[in-house]
Amino acid sequence: MRLTDVLHKDLIKIPLTGKNRDETIKELIKVLIGKKSITNEKSIFQAVIDREKIMTTGVGNGIAIPHCKHNDSPDFAVSLGINPEGLDFESIDKKPVKIVFLLVGPENNPGLHIKLLSRISRLMSNEELRQQLIESNNAEEALNFIEEEENYFFEID
């Protein structure tokens, strides 16, 4: 499975309007609810926040990857938001976050959850791709940049 198997242009929000971590997570959850990718907004939000309490998913370099496993997500779903100005996400490097991937998936497939997290992390290790995403004018353009970069990697199981 590739990231672009679960991330589609209608799951990308440019620009994000949330000013902090919680507002941004809620905003990306609403994108998933709107596409019927998850069944319960409140339970998913709480699961993501519970995960954030363990350790921030603001991983540095302007990226955050909030995520959770929950049965209100029958399949894996990813939404992406871009905030070119940056927002406070309580990142480990204390710098503003501009790129936020929200990953939710069912509890019964932790292996694929880890592989999708790894795929996002590996793609975001490319500084040029990060800059292209931040400068994207719309969701279609952002998705095209991800697809191009993903073509360099093998598929994940």
User: Is the per-residue pLDDT at 4 higher than 70?
Assistant: yes
For position 108, which CATH number holds?
3.40.930.10
Residue 51 lies in domain: 3-150
CA distance 141 to 136: 6
Asked if residue 119 is part of any domain, the answer here is: yes
Q: Which whole number is the average pLDDT over 48-76?
A: 94
3-state secondary structure of 57: coil
Phi and psi angles of residue 19, each rounded to the nearest 5 degrees, phi first = -100, -5
If one compares 157 and 11, the residue with the highest pLDDT of the two is 11
pLDDT of residue 154: 57
What's the rounded mean pLDDT across residues 59-67? 96
Domain count, the chain: 1
Query: pTM value?
Result: 0.94
Q: Establish if 155 belongs to a structural domain.
A: no
Q: Is 157 part of a structural domain of the chain?
A: no
Q: What is the pLDDT of residues 84-101, one digit of tens each?
A: 999 999 999 999 999 999
Q: Which residues contact 79 (CB under 8 A, 6 or more apart)?
A: 7, 11, 12, 13, 28, 29, 31, 32, 37, 101, 102
Q: Is the pLDDT of residue 11 over 90?
A: yes
- Asked if the structure places residue 141 within a domain, the reply is yes
- Check whether 1 has a pLDDT greater than 90: no
pLDDT, one tens digit per residue, over 120-157 is 999 999 999 999 999 999 999 999 999 999 987 655 44
What pLDDT shows up at residue 156?
Answer: 47
Q: With pLDDT > 90 as the criterion, what percentage of the chain qualifies?
A: 89
Residue 23: inside a domain, yes or no?
yes
Answer yes or no: is 156 within a domain.
no
Token output for 118? 């790894």
Does residue 135 belong to any structural domain of this protein? yes
Side chain identity at residue 81, one-letter code: G
